[in-house]
Amino acid sequence: MQWLWCWRCRAEMPMLDEAEYESVVQRFYPHSIEKRKLNYPEVREEYTRITGYVETNPSAIYHHRLFSYGPPCHKCKKPLRTPKAKLCGNCMAPRQPISN
């Protein structure tokens, strides 16, 4: 778990790493049912158990995943919105090329 800026929530939020995310997804987001029919209280309880943060919107938990965000912007330091983003959504700075 790591605190990171969430573009949808417009705040620093606890983001789940892949192992934590899978523990929520595999247990509470069965592939056989639609998202709107999920057991949200259990999703919120598991997220709170992992992060210590009480999230009231279980749909937000679904996008609090480190893997979904890009590296920090070289200018404003907020994470890029996606791993493939070419511009920062906050300051519109172009993504810095990866140097070897």
Calpha distance 41→61 (Å, rounded): 12
- Give me the residue spans of the domains in the chain: 2-68
Calpha distance 22→5 (Å, rounded): 21
Look up residue 76 and give its two tokens.
């404003």
State if pTM tops 0.85: no
What value does the CA radius of gyration of the chain take, rounded to a whole number of Å?
A: 15
pLDDT at 32: 41
For the stretch 12-47, pLDDT in tens is: 999 999 999 988 877 666 554 455 555 577 788 889
For the stretch 44-98, pLDDT in tens is: 888 999 999 998 887 788 889 999 999 999 999 999 999 999 999 999 999 987 6
